[in-house]
Amino acid sequence: FSRDQLLPIAATEFDKDLFVLCLPNSSNPGSVVWFAGEEIDRFENFNEYFMAMIDYNRDEVLALKD
């Protein structure tokens, strides 16, 4: 990817995580990529990414309750 093919949509304050939306001029338009020094995960679209983040956050809350 090049910078002109990606739109940052989220970043973490303390870690090096960055989430980017692939723009129409990229090889995977509409997909979301999670980077943290390297590619961690790739989501087919924003909805898939959003639902995955809800699941990750739900797991974090449950882990804190235990």
pLDDT tens, residue by residue, 7-61: 999 999 888 999 999 999 999 999 999 999 999 999 999 999 999 999 999 999 9
pLDDT of residue 1: 85
Question: Whole-prediction pTM value?
Answer: 0.86
Q: What is the pLDDT of residue 7?
A: 97
User: 22: closest CA among 12, 35, 13?
Assistant: 35
Rounded-to-10 torsion of CA 39, 44, 3, 12: -60
